[in-house]
């Protein structure tokens, strides 16, 4: 027995699941849509524990989904925030080269940004950097004027409000525990009952590979959680940072390196680092989940990744357990910052898909299931940063490419 029948169910009440749901309610207002979220409110995980940056799209490989959906998604996000009164600011950012060998990388990043359609990108020298960020130190910097800030928990709540107003349902405290499929229908079992649906989209973030398996599909990747830890600057030292100050990222690694972010609240934080977490929702060192740890240990790709990135991983661990090391990394960008200016802030856990060959999946990945009912199940398997920025564009892209298969039109 099921509680009700829906045209489409989305698993995951994060900014991506809600972004997809919002697009469905806009395009197909007659469809019965249900979002299932295991927590008691939306955006409790990645979407509520991030840096709040509206990324410009400057870093990503031209033509990739990340590049296309970040650039169009950033514009859509600014417009959405403006239209719905969500606090935001287009404050711009600087990417600062602090070592000679980083200077050519700045030009490469600028060229990528131009190829991705960004305007206003400019490489500046030390003096002009000082005019923009008076306390930053660097040899040269790239100005990215279209970068902004917002609060993605508020964005997610607004998405949920609009979905509900349009006739959709966002059901919280409804953890999905099982999925049964037959040629005609799909039954999703949750802690709040079972729901029948004609189509299903899995946007379960840190658990998207498990939900994929629960639906009888092989994700082909494993989600590995990378914790990002922040320090807050003492309020009296927040004036050291006007907007956003980033280092030149290491091209071998998908994360951007510890940076300074002025939040929409006015607070300034530093981070996040990228430490392998011992649990999918491992927000602290003490969070250890043996089931999670065992599943990585049994996945060959995990050991291949460890062999490839162990040096970087050790550096991140060192910065995680030593505040002094964290402060020293920050001093490269802001020499005046002292260890005593930093107080422990929050943390977030990134869901990063890992391939069996040990490579971290770089681009966004959406995979349609080949099993029955045909085309009716879609798994969103890799949506790391800048997916919050891109959430509206991701919603649009998924609906445009999969609506017919999902039976929405």
Ligand X SMILES: Cc1cc2nc3c(=O)[nH]c(=O)nc-3n(C[C@H](O)[C@H](O)[C@H](O)COP(=O)(O)OP(=O)(O)OC[C@H]3O[C@@H](n4cnc5c(N)ncnc54)[C@H](O)[C@@H]3O)c2cc1C
Give the footprint of ligand X on this chain (CB under 6 A). Answer: 11-17, 36-39, 43-47, 49-53, 55, 175-176, 203-207, 211, 228, 272, 348-350, 383-389
Between 6 and 140, CB nearer to ligand X? 6
Give the count of beta carbons closer than 10 Å to the beta carbon of residue 311. 8
Between 214 and 305, CB nearer to ligand X? 214
* Residue partners of 63: CB distance under 8 A and separation at least 6: none
Between 69 and 124, CB nearer to ligand X? 69
Between 206 and 215, CB nearer to ligand X? 206
Least separation in angstroms between residue 390's CB and ligand X is: 7
Least separation in angstroms between residue 226's CB and ligand X is: 8
Least separation in angstroms between residue 59's CB and ligand X is: 12
Query: Residue of minimal CB distance from ligand X?
Result: 14
* Residue partners of 404: CB distance under 8 A and separation at least 6: none
The closest alpha carbon to 142, from 128, 155, 160, belongs to: 128
Between 98 and 352, CB nearer to ligand X? 352
Least separation in angstroms between residue 44's CB and ligand X is: 5
Q: How far apart are CA 104 and CA 353, in angstroms?
A: 30
The closest alpha carbon to 174, from 5, 12, 6, belongs to: 12
Q: How far apart are CA 77 and CA 98, in angstroms?
A: 31
Least separation in angstroms between residue 57's CB and ligand X is: 10
Between 15 and 403, CB nearer to ligand X? 15
Between 13 and 168, CB nearer to ligand X? 13
Between 124 and 142, CB nearer to ligand X? 142
Q: How far apart are CA 53 and CA 268, in angstroms?
A: 12
The closest alpha carbon to 49, from 277, 354, 313, belongs to: 277
Least separation in angstroms between residue 256's CB and ligand X is: 9
Least separation in angstroms between residue 128's CB and ligand X is: 25
Q: How far apart are CA 263 and CA 245, in angstroms?
A: 12
Least separation in angstroms between residue 49's CB and ligand X is: 6
Least separation in angstroms between residue 236's CB and ligand X is: 25
CA distances from 302 to 106, 274, 380 (A): 31, 16, 21
Q: How far apart are CA 125 and CA 145, in angstroms?
A: 16
Between 20 and 238, CB nearer to ligand X? 20
Least separation in angstroms between residue 207's CB and ligand X is: 4
Between 53 and 342, CB nearer to ligand X? 53
């Amino acid at each position: 027995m099921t509680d009700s029948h829906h045209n489409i169910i989305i698993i995951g009440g994060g900014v991506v699941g809600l972004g997809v749901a919002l697009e469905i309610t806009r395009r197909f207002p007659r469809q019965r849509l249900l979002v299932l979220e295991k927590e008691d409110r939306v955006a409790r995980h990645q979407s509520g524990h991030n840096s709040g940056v509206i990324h410009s799209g400057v870093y990503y490989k031209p033509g990739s989904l990340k590049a296309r959906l970040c650039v169009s998604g950033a514009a859509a996000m600014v417009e959405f925030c403006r239209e719905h009164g969500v606090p935001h600011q287009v404050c711009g950012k600087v990417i600062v080269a602090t070592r000679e060998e980083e200077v050519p990388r700045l030009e490469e990043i600028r060229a990528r940004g131009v190829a991705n359609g960004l305007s206003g990108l400019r490489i500046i020298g030390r003096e002009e950097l000082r005019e923009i960020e008076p306390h930053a130190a660097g040899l040269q910097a790239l100005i990215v004027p279209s970068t902004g800030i917002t609060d993605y928990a508020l964005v997610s709540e607004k998405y949920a409000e609009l979905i509900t107003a349009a006739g959709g349902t966002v059901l919280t405290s409804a953890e999905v525990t099982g999925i049964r499929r037959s040629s005609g229908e799909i039954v999703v079992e949750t802690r709040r009952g079972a729901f029948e649906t004609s189509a299903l989209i899995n946007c379960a973030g840190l658990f998207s590979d498990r939900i994929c398996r629960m639906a009888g599909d092989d994700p082909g990747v494993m989600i590995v959680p990378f914790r990002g830890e922040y320090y807050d600057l003492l309020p009296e030292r927040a004036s050291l940072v006007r907007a956003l100050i980033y280092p030149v990222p290491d091209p071998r690694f998908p994360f951007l390196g510890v940076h300074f972010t002025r939040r929409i609240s006015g607070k300034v934080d530093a981070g996040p680092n990228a430490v392998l977490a011992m649990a999918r929702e491992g927000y602290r060192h003490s969070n250890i989940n043996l089931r999670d740890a065992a599943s990585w240990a049994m996945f060959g790709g995990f050991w291949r990744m460890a062999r490839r990135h162990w040096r970087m991983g050790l550096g991140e661990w060192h910065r995680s357990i030593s505040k002094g090391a964290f402060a020293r990394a920050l001093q490269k960008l802001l020499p005046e910052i002292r260890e005593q200016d930093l107080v422990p802030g929050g943390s977030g856990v990134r869901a990063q898909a890992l391939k069996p060959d040990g490579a971290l999946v770089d681009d966004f990945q959406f995979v349609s299931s080949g099993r029955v009912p045909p085309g009716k199940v879609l798994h969103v398997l890799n949506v790391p940063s800048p997916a919050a920025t891109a959430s509206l564009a991701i919603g649009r892209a998924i609906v445009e490419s999969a609506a017919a298969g999902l039976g929405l039109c």
